[in-house]
Amino acid sequence: MAEFRALNDDFAAIVRGSFNRQGLMHLLGATLEDVQPGYVHILLPFKEGLTQQHSYFHAGAITSVVDSACGYAALTLMPPDTEVLTIEYKVNFLAPARGEFAIARGHVLKPGRTVTVCQGEVLVVQDGIEKLCATMLATMISRQEFQEAV
């Protein structure tokens, strides 16, 4: 992955503040583990409330955390006073998401003034073994642009 430089010295505090306002991350039990320029890492411990019908992580739970990881990865590179929204994403599920916790990583692939493209991945960890279970390709936009644009 490319190395990026943040335009905003407070990028990590801004991401942490915004993450804490996401009710869904609290409900799911997700925690924000690492914030770097162009990169965010979220942890999601397994619990019964996250499952689909076979007691794996539900695709929607996986998607929720990797969407937040990608959105905040985009936000780390945006100017001050910008907010970020998701335009669209695609997720491929590569293996049954069974494990004690999931790790979602969002990376910026191509930053932009208004549109930022991100790549995300989700690993599940079971008995200490990591397995790639999902990959995301996402398009993010600054909130100001989104509200005028759509």
Contact region for a second copy (CB under 8 A) — 3-11, 33-41, 52-60, 122-130?
52-60
Examine residue 7 and tell whether it contacts a second copy (CB under 8 A).
no
Spatial neighbors of 23 by CB under 8 A, at least 6 apart, are none
Q: Judged by CB under 8 A, which of 34, 113, 130, 144 binds a second copy?
A: 113
Examine residue 94 and tell whether it contacts a second copy (CB under 8 A).
yes
Contact region for a second copy (CB under 8 A) — 4-12, 31-39, 50-58, 122-130?
50-58
Examine residue 64 and tell whether it contacts a second copy (CB under 8 A).
yes
Q: Which of 102, 130, 106, 127 is nearest to 118 (CA)?
A: 106
Residues facing 44 on adjacent strands: 102
Number of residues in contact with a second copy under rule CB under 8 A? 60
Spatial neighbors of 101 by CB under 8 A, at least 6 apart, are 43, 44, 45, 46, 124, 125
3-class DSSP state for residue 117? strand
- Residue 60 backbone phi and psi in degrees, to 5: -70, -35
Q: State the residues that interact with a second copy by CB under 8 A.
A: 18-19, 21-24, 26-28, 47-55, 58-61, 63-65, 67-68, 83, 85-96, 109-110, 112-115, 117, 119, 132, 135, 137, 139, 141, 143, 145-150
